[in-house]
Structure 1
Amino acid sequence: MTATDLKNKTIAELLQIAEALDIPGVSGLRKSELIFKVMEATSA
């Protein structure tokens, strides 16, 4: 999943992805922060 793919998703979709990746504390984050967290989790 690339940054462009993530930018094209809604915040709700990004939250679902973050939940599936077990990323804590994502509710209330801005879209750019969510994208960063998801990319960070998938690259680790």
Structure 2
Amino acid sequence: MADQHKPGETVKTSGIYKVVKEGGGGPKFKVTCVEGEHFPPTGGR
């Protein structure tokens, strides 16, 4: 299983990450994250 990260954590490796919302609801999408920045909020509950 791939590593999972939470919004606000520091990105350790730049790349494109698939967003998986808790409970599996909502639209599926990917985000580009840059090393040293923070993972963005998902905008959902």
TM-score (norm 2): 0.27
- TM-score scaled by length of structure 1: 0.27
Q: Larger % of helix: which?
A: 1
